Amino acid sequence: MKKTEIMNIVAALTIVLVVMAAFTGCVAVNDTRTTASGTSISAEVFAQITPGLPQDQVVAKLGDPSEKTTQDGNQLWIWRYRVTQATNKGFIFVFLSQDRSTHVTVHYVEFKDGAVIKTWME
């Protein structure tokens, strides 16, 4: 192979690499979306919910619960907070993936005769 042929091949490969690098940034996808639903309750606020506290004061501090139910004859109020993050990554028409994560925090307050008897969270 002659020196000029080798130089032409190297020049052609260089042009191909430069073009590929230029277009890579144009077609890359990296889109992250975060959605939240429910009531976010800080640990400091939830710590204020202590045994004996009446229901109206619980609502004043935490807001209305997501759900009310009964457990062992006592009222159980539940606050759910869900955060979902979805990230789309890849190159258009070549490769696309989606990473999705969901974190759910649930706070529970149990009442007997209208007053707090127990709290916990998951």
- 113: in domain: yes
Strand segments, DSSP code E, in the chain are 28-38, 67-71, 74-91, 95-112, 115-121
- 56: in domain: yes
pLDDT tens track for 8-62: 776 666 776 555 655 555 556 678 899 999 999 999 999 999 999 999 999 999 9
pLDDT of residue 118: 97
Measure Cα distances from 111 to 21, 22, 23, 28, 107 in Å. Answer: 63, 64, 62, 53, 13
pLDDT tens track for 54-99: 999 999 999 999 999 999 999 999 999 999 999 877 766 555 777 8
Distance separating alpha carbons of residues 13 and 10, to the nearest angstrom? 5
Q: pLDDT-based confidence at 3, cuts 50/70/90?
A: confident
CATH of the domain at 39: 3.30.1450.10
Distance separating alpha carbons of residues 49 and 30, to the nearest angstrom? 42
Question: In terms of C-beta density within 10 A (0-12 exposed, 13-18 middle, 19 or more buried), how is residue 117 classed?
Answer: middle
- 85: in domain: yes
- 38: in domain: yes
Q: How many domains does the chain have?
A: 1
- 3: in domain: no
Helix (H) or strand (E) run with residue 52 in it: none
41: CB partners within 8 A, 6+ apart: 62, 79, 81, 105, 107
pLDDT of residue 28: 67
* Residue range of the domain that includes 93: 29-121
